[in-house]
Amino acid sequence: MQYFSSEQINALDSGFRRNLINSLSGYKSLNLVGTKSESGITNLAPFSQIIHLGAYPAFVGILFRPHTVKRDTLENILETGFFTLNHVTPEFFKEAHWAAANWEQSEFEATGLTEEYKKDFFAPFVKGSPVQLGCKFVESQTLQVNQTVFLVGSIEHVFVHEKGLVEDGSLDLNEMETVTVSGLDDYHTGKRLARLAYPKPNKFPELI
Protein backbone atom coordinates (compact mmCIF):
# COMPACT_ATOMS: atom_id res chain seq x y z
CA MET A 1 0.00 0.00 0.00
CA GLN A 2 1.17 3.50 -0.77
CA TYR A 3 0.84 5.79 2.25
CA PHE A 4 0.23 9.55 2.50
CA SER A 5 0.08 11.43 5.80
CA SER A 6 -1.89 14.68 6.01
CA GLU A 7 1.42 16.61 5.94
CA GLN A 8 2.45 14.74 2.81
CA ILE A 9 -0.96 15.38 1.24
CA ASN A 10 -0.64 19.12 1.85
CA ALA A 11 2.85 19.10 0.31
CA LEU A 12 1.79 17.31 -2.89
CA ASP A 13 1.74 18.96 -6.30
CA SER A 14 -1.73 20.58 -6.43
CA GLY A 15 -2.84 18.69 -9.56
CA PHE A 16 -1.75 15.34 -8.15
CA ARG A 17 -3.45 16.12 -4.84
CA ARG A 18 -6.68 17.20 -6.53
CA ASN A 19 -6.81 13.97 -8.57
CA LEU A 20 -6.00 11.83 -5.54
CA ILE A 21 -8.36 13.36 -2.99
CA ASN A 22 -11.23 13.51 -5.50
CA SER A 23 -10.82 9.76 -6.08
CA LEU A 24 -10.82 8.71 -2.45
CA SER A 25 -14.54 8.44 -1.70
CA GLY A 26 -15.10 5.96 -4.56
CA TYR A 27 -17.53 5.97 -7.48
CA LYS A 28 -19.81 9.00 -7.33
CA SER A 29 -23.27 9.81 -8.59
CA LEU A 30 -23.26 11.95 -11.73
CA ASN A 31 -26.10 14.33 -12.53
CA LEU A 32 -26.48 17.19 -14.96
CA VAL A 33 -28.07 20.04 -13.02
CA GLY A 34 -30.39 22.13 -15.18
CA THR A 35 -31.40 25.67 -14.25
CA LYS A 36 -32.67 28.87 -15.85
CA SER A 37 -32.16 32.46 -14.75
CA GLU A 38 -35.07 34.86 -14.18
CA SER A 39 -34.06 36.48 -17.49
CA GLY A 40 -34.51 33.12 -19.29
CA ILE A 41 -30.92 32.01 -19.89
CA THR A 42 -30.58 28.27 -19.35
CA ASN A 43 -27.62 26.61 -17.66
CA LEU A 44 -26.39 23.04 -17.38
CA ALA A 45 -23.52 21.63 -15.34
CA PRO A 46 -22.32 18.15 -14.25
CA PHE A 47 -22.25 17.54 -10.48
CA SER A 48 -20.88 14.56 -8.58
CA GLN A 49 -21.41 15.80 -5.01
CA ILE A 50 -25.10 15.04 -4.75
CA ILE A 51 -26.50 12.83 -2.01
CA HIS A 52 -29.81 11.34 -1.00
CA LEU A 53 -31.01 13.05 2.20
CA GLY A 54 -34.31 11.30 2.80
CA ALA A 55 -37.24 9.46 1.22
CA TYR A 56 -40.24 10.79 3.15
CA PRO A 57 -40.29 13.65 2.41
CA ALA A 58 -37.93 13.25 -0.52
CA PHE A 59 -34.86 15.50 -0.23
CA VAL A 60 -31.49 15.74 -1.97
CA GLY A 61 -28.33 17.58 -0.96
CA ILE A 62 -25.87 19.23 -3.33
CA LEU A 63 -22.42 20.52 -2.44
CA PHE A 64 -21.17 23.58 -4.34
CA ARG A 65 -17.62 24.94 -4.45
CA PRO A 66 -17.18 28.21 -2.53
CA HIS A 67 -19.31 31.06 -3.85
CA THR A 68 -16.31 33.32 -4.30
CA VAL A 69 -16.60 33.39 -8.09
CA LYS A 70 -19.60 33.47 -10.40
CA ARG A 71 -21.49 30.20 -10.04
CA ASP A 72 -24.42 30.16 -12.44
CA THR A 73 -26.07 26.95 -11.22
CA LEU A 74 -26.05 28.05 -7.58
CA GLU A 75 -27.12 31.61 -8.38
CA ASN A 76 -29.99 30.43 -10.60
CA ILE A 77 -31.24 28.13 -7.85
CA LEU A 78 -31.04 30.85 -5.19
CA GLU A 79 -32.72 33.34 -7.54
CA THR A 80 -35.53 31.19 -8.97
CA GLY A 81 -35.88 28.29 -6.50
CA PHE A 82 -35.88 25.53 -9.12
CA PHE A 83 -33.48 23.01 -10.65
CA THR A 84 -33.47 19.63 -12.38
CA LEU A 85 -31.23 16.60 -11.91
CA ASN A 86 -30.64 14.38 -14.93
CA HIS A 87 -28.78 11.09 -15.19
CA VAL A 88 -26.13 10.79 -17.90
CA THR A 89 -25.84 7.90 -20.37
CA PRO A 90 -22.95 6.67 -22.57
CA GLU A 91 -24.64 8.44 -25.48
CA PHE A 92 -23.91 11.90 -24.12
CA PHE A 93 -21.39 11.59 -21.29
CA LYS A 94 -18.80 13.52 -23.34
CA GLU A 95 -21.25 16.38 -23.82
CA ALA A 96 -22.05 16.22 -20.10
CA HIS A 97 -18.33 16.56 -19.27
CA TRP A 98 -18.00 19.34 -21.85
CA ALA A 99 -20.80 21.28 -20.13
CA ALA A 100 -18.33 21.92 -17.29
CA ALA A 101 -16.18 24.13 -19.54
CA ASN A 102 -16.23 27.89 -19.08
CA TRP A 103 -18.91 28.70 -21.64
CA GLU A 104 -20.23 32.22 -22.32
CA GLN A 105 -23.60 30.92 -23.52
CA SER A 106 -26.01 28.27 -22.27
CA GLU A 107 -24.32 24.87 -22.05
CA PHE A 108 -27.39 23.42 -23.77
CA GLU A 109 -26.60 25.52 -26.86
CA ALA A 110 -22.89 24.98 -26.53
CA THR A 111 -22.85 21.19 -26.24
CA GLY A 112 -25.90 20.30 -28.32
CA LEU A 113 -27.82 18.77 -25.42
CA THR A 114 -31.54 19.51 -25.73
CA GLU A 115 -33.74 21.32 -23.24
CA GLU A 116 -37.04 19.68 -22.35
CA TYR A 117 -39.88 21.38 -20.43
CA LYS A 118 -42.46 19.28 -18.60
CA LYS A 119 -45.32 19.76 -16.12
CA ASP A 120 -44.97 23.55 -16.23
CA PHE A 121 -41.71 23.18 -14.38
CA PHE A 122 -39.54 26.30 -14.57
CA ALA A 123 -36.13 24.68 -15.02
CA PRO A 124 -35.15 22.67 -18.12
CA PHE A 125 -34.72 18.88 -18.12
CA VAL A 126 -32.20 17.14 -20.38
CA LYS A 127 -33.96 15.36 -23.23
CA GLY A 128 -32.98 11.72 -23.42
CA SER A 129 -31.96 11.35 -19.79
CA PRO A 130 -33.51 8.14 -18.35
CA VAL A 131 -33.97 9.63 -14.86
CA GLN A 132 -35.05 13.26 -14.46
CA LEU A 133 -35.94 15.04 -11.23
CA GLY A 134 -37.61 18.43 -10.79
CA CYS A 135 -36.44 19.91 -7.49
CA LYS A 136 -37.21 22.96 -5.39
CA PHE A 137 -34.80 24.90 -3.20
CA VAL A 138 -35.37 24.41 0.53
CA GLU A 139 -32.31 25.81 2.28
CA SER A 140 -28.57 26.28 1.97
CA GLN A 141 -25.65 26.97 4.24
CA THR A 142 -21.97 27.71 3.95
CA LEU A 143 -19.73 25.15 5.64
CA GLN A 144 -17.30 27.09 7.80
CA VAL A 145 -14.50 24.54 7.32
CA ASN A 146 -13.95 25.48 3.69
CA GLN A 147 -16.74 27.86 2.55
CA THR A 148 -18.38 25.22 0.34
CA VAL A 149 -22.15 25.59 0.11
CA PHE A 150 -24.45 22.73 1.06
CA LEU A 151 -27.89 23.11 -0.51
CA VAL A 152 -31.02 21.10 0.26
CA GLY A 153 -33.76 20.57 -2.32
CA SER A 154 -37.09 18.78 -2.22
CA ILE A 155 -37.97 16.38 -5.04
CA GLU A 156 -41.20 17.59 -6.66
CA HIS A 157 -41.28 15.62 -9.94
CA VAL A 158 -39.79 12.25 -10.83
CA PHE A 159 -39.54 10.90 -14.39
CA VAL A 160 -37.99 7.46 -14.82
CA HIS A 161 -37.70 5.41 -17.99
CA GLU A 162 -39.92 2.37 -17.66
CA LYS A 163 -37.17 0.02 -18.88
CA GLY A 164 -35.30 0.49 -15.57
CA LEU A 165 -38.19 0.71 -13.08
CA VAL A 166 -38.32 -2.52 -11.10
CA GLU A 167 -41.55 -3.88 -9.56
CA ASP A 168 -40.39 -3.10 -6.03
CA GLY A 169 -39.71 0.56 -6.86
CA SER A 170 -35.95 0.34 -7.22
CA LEU A 171 -34.23 1.44 -10.40
CA ASP A 172 -32.04 -0.88 -12.43
CA LEU A 173 -29.24 1.51 -13.30
CA ASN A 174 -27.59 -1.04 -15.60
CA GLU A 175 -30.81 -1.03 -17.70
CA MET A 176 -30.98 2.76 -17.52
CA GLU A 177 -27.32 2.85 -18.64
CA THR A 178 -26.69 5.47 -15.96
CA VAL A 179 -23.09 6.70 -15.90
CA THR A 180 -20.98 7.07 -12.75
CA VAL A 181 -17.79 9.07 -12.32
CA SER A 182 -14.62 8.53 -10.31
CA GLY A 183 -12.10 11.24 -9.61
CA LEU A 184 -12.52 14.33 -11.77
CA ASP A 185 -12.80 12.84 -15.24
CA ASP A 186 -13.12 9.04 -15.25
CA TYR A 187 -16.50 7.81 -16.53
CA HIS A 188 -17.99 4.33 -16.17
CA THR A 189 -21.17 2.35 -16.39
CA GLY A 190 -21.99 -0.22 -13.71
CA LYS A 191 -21.54 -3.97 -13.92
CA ARG A 192 -23.81 -5.72 -11.47
CA LEU A 193 -22.37 -8.10 -8.87
CA ALA A 194 -25.67 -8.86 -7.12
CA ARG A 195 -28.69 -7.52 -5.29
CA LEU A 196 -28.71 -8.73 -1.72
CA ALA A 197 -31.58 -9.43 0.66
CA TYR A 198 -32.21 -7.17 3.67
CA PRO A 199 -29.34 -7.89 6.07
CA LYS A 200 -30.22 -9.88 9.20
CA PRO A 201 -27.95 -11.22 11.94
CA ASN A 202 -27.13 -14.93 11.72
CA LYS A 203 -28.31 -15.25 8.13
CA PHE A 204 -25.69 -14.71 5.43
CA PRO A 205 -27.16 -12.38 2.79
CA GLU A 206 -28.84 -14.15 -0.09
CA LEU A 207 -29.10 -12.91 -3.63
CA ILE A 208 -32.44 -11.42 -4.62
Residues between 15 and 44 with contacts to its own copies, criterion CB under 8 A: 15-31
Q: State which residue, 38 or 89, has the beta carbon closest to its own copies.
A: 89
Of residues 93-152, which lie at the interface with its own copies (CB under 8 A)? 93-94, 97-104, 110, 119, 131-133, 138-139, 143-146, 148, 150, 152
Of residues 39-68, which lie at the interface with its own copies (CB under 8 A)? 48-61, 63
Beta strands in 26-94 (DSSP E): 31-36, 42-47, 50-55, 58-64, 82-87
Find the binder of its own copies among 74, 77, 85, 126 (CB under 8 A): 85
* Cα 188 to Cα 167: distance, rounded to the nearest angstrom: 26
Q: Does 78 bind its own copies (CB under 8 A)?
A: no
168-197 in b/e form (b: 16+ CB < 10 A) is eeebebeebbbbbbbbeeebeeeeeeeeee
Q: State which residue, 79 or 137, has the beta carbon closest to its own copies.
A: 137
Query: Minimum Å distance from CB 37 to its own copies?
Result: 19
